[in-house]
């Protein structure tokens, strides 16, 4: 899905040059003219294109427009990014004056760009238009009134676009075209794309790329990219984007950003990163979303977790409208990162916010609102499924009493699963969303977890969708796209117990899927290991399992697989209890001939569980202090360090009041489990998380804060740097 340029044809662009804004405001206050300024366009002469905000004698004194001093001040305040003052002055004018047109216009834009309150914005823009028509007629003859009328009509179309009301947006543009020339055809491409009227959008785009106006050309090239993307023509979208990128002298943020997405859809992952970097430094800041957000997904595809964390940490919205449009996108990418790290409970908090308080940004995304909802709920279901696996692990090792105590939680999880599954089915069956979800990289649901759809919809529906997806792939990229679909189908066959056909499909997928798509390949490796184990009748440490345990073991947990281990333990009462409890774990098969060893080590202060191979090389270890209070302080100290709060590190212990408040906060937070009191269960819970989670390379910041000899961080600790 592609993004619409944030830049709008209006005097009120929030990203205009601040120096020009300041000088324009001063000129206005001194009574001089305030001309239109658009980024990337020559500034038109007063005679050629008069502005509705010029203080001519006609509009300011004896004309039909009666603009008060308060309205003019509100306009200047908005134009110079002083949004709160602009709102205060506009509301004052509306309270004290009769039908202040300009004040209503200012307030409408404050609601749109600073608050995302589109219904109120639409109300005030229509009120301003109605008042203008009452005062100056439906076809204003005065220059200032005419220009203001144009701006109001165009702004109404933008607001309707923000609300994703595409038919109404086209009607608003048609009203403009009935009165004024030239028509605003370039603004019609995006709503036509959203309505699936691709031929009409193409016709306009092909005409507009011949324009002498660089802004119109840029919008047309971007529109043609979106047309082909939504028509599911990968190569054509990429080619139009490259032409637009060259035409814009490689200085358009939105075209570079969408080129990154087009590169991903064409399986060119290195190019995607390059275009994301170009978007970050492009002179024309016309992106409606930050390249950092897209970059975080790029790095996840390649299994570069620290880069993904750094990209999300670097996001800093420049304007209120960017925060409004992207805040929940960032949360969704955080949730996706946490799913990939196995920090599922923390990820549930993020995705819950996304589905409960979605971004007001459907209008700036070429995907339909139903597809955006499907993407969010698919990620939500995947995180719920991960947390269900974690809960089963917890309950299994706590015996019968622990199982009984966990039943209310299990029932609640089942209820949440059903509700979210219902939403996935609802949105997947809208139009062809299920096909778009299955075809690789045509949605924000990445192939390394989109296979979860197999466990939601069942074999019949998914098989038909896979067959249709195969038939729609372009010949140029058919081999790679079909390899992804082979992996998808392999998981379906594996779930149905058809191991021979599943093995053939997964082998074929692994031979073609690009090496850069690491997370997807790791899932395929886990699938192949499971299939071979079932066919051989015994699970063994082969090359696949060794690679997974060394680099990315999480798919073993996601697919709910068991690995064969033998157990060795040191003498001690607690270590004996650990061995007894972990024998019930759904992650391990105890086998005296296994080539993997689960070492349980107890000393006076700590309990530790390590996974080692025959050569004695450790894959990962999980450790806890036996003393619960000491462990609590250790966890708190580490969290402060990872969150970059060195000023707190000297405090060895919180006061009693602070401890009580922290405990209450944790009890109120349904997304955070309290620290397990029993060290036996605590170390086993950590073993489930940490033996099957990836290690994250530290940046210099974490190395400076923590022990400088540490080079890697556990997944659960790594996400602390996001907060």
Q: Are residues 483 and 403 in the same domain?
A: yes
Q: Which pLDDT value is given to residue 37?
A: 22
Predicted confidence band of residue 432 (pLDDT cuts 50, 70, 90): confident
Please state, for a pLDDT cut of 90, what percent of the chain lies above it.
67
Q: Are residues 383 and 259 in the same domain?
A: no
**For residue range 656-705, what is the model confidence (pLDDT) as tens digits?**
555 555 555 444 456 678 889 999 999 999 999 999 999 887 665 544 44
In a domain? residue 719: no
User: What is the Cα–Cα distance from 549 to 127, expressed in whole angstroms?
Assistant: 64
User: What is the Cα–Cα distance from 676 to 666, expressed in whole angstroms?
Assistant: 13
Q: Are residues 493 and 583 in the same domain?
A: no
- Please tell me the pTM assigned to this model: 0.86
In a domain? residue 558: no
* Domain range for 381: 350-550
Mean pLDDT across the stretch 152-162? 95
In a domain? residue 395: yes
In this model, does residue 47 exceed pLDDT 60? Answer: no
Q: Give the C-alpha distances (Å, rounded to integers) separating 213 from 200, 217, 220, 248.
A: 21, 6, 11, 11
In this model, does residue 494 exceed pLDDT 60? Answer: yes
Q: Are residues 150 and 210 in the same domain?
A: yes
Q: Are residues 621 and 674 in the same domain?
A: yes
Q: Are residues 402 and 500 in the same domain?
A: yes
Q: Which pLDDT value is given to residue 368?
A: 84
Q: Are residues 447 and 577 in the same domain?
A: no
Q: Are residues 360 and 244 in the same domain?
A: no
In a domain? residue 699: no
**For residue range 219-233, what is the model confidence (pLDDT) as tens digits?**
999 999 999 999 999
Identify the three-state secondary structure at position 440.
coil
Q: Which pLDDT value is given to residue 659?
A: 54
- Exposed, middle or buried by CB within 10 Å (0-12, 13-18, 19+), for 719? buried
Nearest CA to 250 out of 229, 269, 277 is that of 277
In a domain? residue 675: yes
Task: Between 117 and 156, name the one with better pLDDT.
Answer: 156
Q: Which pLDDT value is given to residue 698?
A: 65
User: What is the Cα–Cα distance from 112 to 158, expressed in whole angstroms?
Assistant: 9
Domain boundary at 271, 300, 318, which?
318
Domain boundary at 550, 582, 607, which?
550
In a domain? residue 706: no
In a domain? residue 11: no
Q: Are residues 382 and 490 in the same domain?
A: yes
Domain boundary at 519, 550, 581, which?
550
User: What is the Cα–Cα distance from 636 to 568, expressed in whole angstroms?
Assistant: 31
Q: Which pLDDT value is given to residue 113?
A: 87
- Exposed, middle or buried by CB within 10 Å (0-12, 13-18, 19+), for 208? buried
What tokens appear for 650 in the block?
């000297």
Q: Which pLDDT value is given to residue 615?
A: 86
Nearest CA to 204 out of 220, 226, 191, 180 is that of 220
Q: Are residues 105 and 246 in the same domain?
A: yes
In a domain? residue 10: no
**For residue range 551-590, what is the model confidence (pLDDT) as tens digits?**
999 999 999 999 999 999 988 899 999 999 999 999 999 9
CATH code for the domain in which residue 178 is found: 1.25.40.10
Q: Are residues 665 and 529 in the same domain?
A: no
Q: Are residues 541 and 568 in the same domain?
A: no
In this model, does residue 45 exceed pLDDT 70? Answer: no
Count up the domains in the chain and report the number. 3
């Amino acid at each position: 899905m592609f993004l619409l340029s944030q830049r709008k044809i209006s005097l009120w662009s929030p990203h205009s040059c601040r120096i020009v804004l300041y000088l324009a405001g001063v000129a206005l206050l001194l009574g001089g003219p305030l001309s239109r300024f658009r980024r990337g366009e020559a500034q038109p002469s007063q005679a050629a294109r008069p502005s509705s905000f010029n203080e001519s004698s006609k509009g300011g004194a004896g004309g039909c427009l009666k603009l008060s001093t308060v309205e003019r001040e509100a306009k200047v305040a908005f134009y110079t990014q002083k949004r709160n003052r602009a709102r205060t002055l506009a509301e004052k004018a509306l309270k004290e004056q009769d039908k202040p047109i300009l004040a209503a216009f200012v307030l409408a834009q404050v609601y749109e760009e600073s608050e995302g309150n589109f219904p109120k914005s639409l109300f005030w823009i229509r009120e301003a238009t109605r008042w203008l028509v009452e005062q100056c007629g439906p076809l204003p003859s005065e220059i200032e009134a005419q220009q203001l009328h144009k701006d109001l009509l165009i702004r109404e179309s933008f607001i309707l676009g923000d609300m994703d009301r595409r038919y109404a947006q086209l009607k608003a543009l048609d009203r403009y075209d009935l009165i004024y020339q030239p028509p605003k055809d370039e603004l019609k491409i995006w709503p036509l794309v959203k309505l699936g009227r691709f031929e009409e959008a193409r016709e306009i785009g092909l005409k507009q790329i011949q324009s002498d106006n660089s802004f119109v050309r840029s919008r047309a090239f971007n529109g043609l990219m979106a047309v082909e993307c939504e028509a599911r023509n990968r190569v054509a979208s990429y080619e139009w984007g490259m032409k637009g990128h060259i035409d814009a002298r490689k200085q358009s943020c939105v075209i570079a950003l969408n080129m990154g997405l087009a590169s991903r859809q064409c399986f060119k992952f290195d190019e995607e990163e390059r275009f994301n970097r170009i978007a970050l430094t492009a002179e024309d800041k016309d992106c409606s979303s930050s390249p950092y957000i897209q970059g975080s997904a790029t790095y996840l595809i390649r299994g570069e977790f620290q880069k993904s964390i750094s990209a999300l940490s670097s996001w800093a919205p420049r304007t209120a409208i960017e925060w409004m449009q992207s805040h929940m996108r960032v949360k969704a990418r955080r949730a996706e990162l946490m799913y990939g790290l196995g920090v599922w409970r923390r990820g549930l908090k993020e995705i819950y916010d996304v589905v409960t308080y979605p971004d007001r940004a459907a209008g700036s995304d070429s995907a339909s609102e139903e597809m955006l909802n499907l993407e969010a709920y698919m990620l939500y279901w995947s995180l719920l499924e991960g947390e269900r696996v974690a809960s089963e692990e917890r309950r299994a090792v706590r015996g019968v009493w622990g199982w009984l105590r966990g039943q209310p939680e299990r029932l609640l999880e089942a209820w949440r699963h059903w509700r979210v599954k219902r939403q996935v089915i609802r949105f997947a069956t809208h139009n062809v969303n299920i096909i778009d979800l299955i075809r690789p990289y045509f949605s924000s649901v990445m192939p390394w977890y989109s296979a979860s759809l197999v466990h939601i919809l069942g074999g019949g529906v998914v098989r038909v969708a896979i067959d249709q997806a195969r038939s729609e792939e372009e010949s140029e990229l058919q081999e790679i796209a079909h390899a992804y679909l082979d992996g998808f189908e392999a998981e379906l066959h594996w779930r149905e117990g058809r191991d021979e056909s599943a093995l053939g499909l997964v082998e074929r997928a692994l031979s073609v899927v690009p090496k850069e798509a690491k997370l997807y390949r790791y899932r395929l490796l886990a699938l192949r290991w499971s299939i071979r184990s079932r066919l051989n009748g015994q699970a063994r440490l082969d090359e696949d399992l060794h690679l997974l345990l060394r680099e990315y073991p999480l798919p073993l947990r996601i697919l709910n697989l068991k690995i064969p281990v033998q157990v060795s333990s040191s003498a001690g009462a607690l270590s004996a209890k650990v061995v007894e409890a972990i024998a019930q774990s759904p992650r391990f098969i105890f086998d005296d001939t296994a080539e993997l060893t689960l070492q349980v080590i107890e000393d006076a202060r700590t309990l530790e569980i390590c996974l080692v191979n025959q050569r004695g090389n450790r894959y990962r270890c999980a450790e806890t202090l036996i003393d619960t209070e000491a462990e609590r302080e250790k966890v708190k100290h580490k969290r402060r360090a990872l969150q970059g709060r060195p000023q707190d590190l000297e405090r060895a212990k919180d006061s009693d009041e602070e401890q009580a408040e922290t405990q209450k906060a944790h009890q109120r937070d349904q997304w955070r489990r309290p620290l397990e009191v029993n060290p036996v269960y605590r170390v086993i819970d950590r073993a489930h998380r940490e033996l099957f989670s990836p290690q994250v390379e530290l940046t210099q910041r974490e190395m400076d804060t923590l022990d400088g000899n540490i080079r890697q961080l556990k997944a659960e600790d790594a996400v602390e740097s996001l907060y």
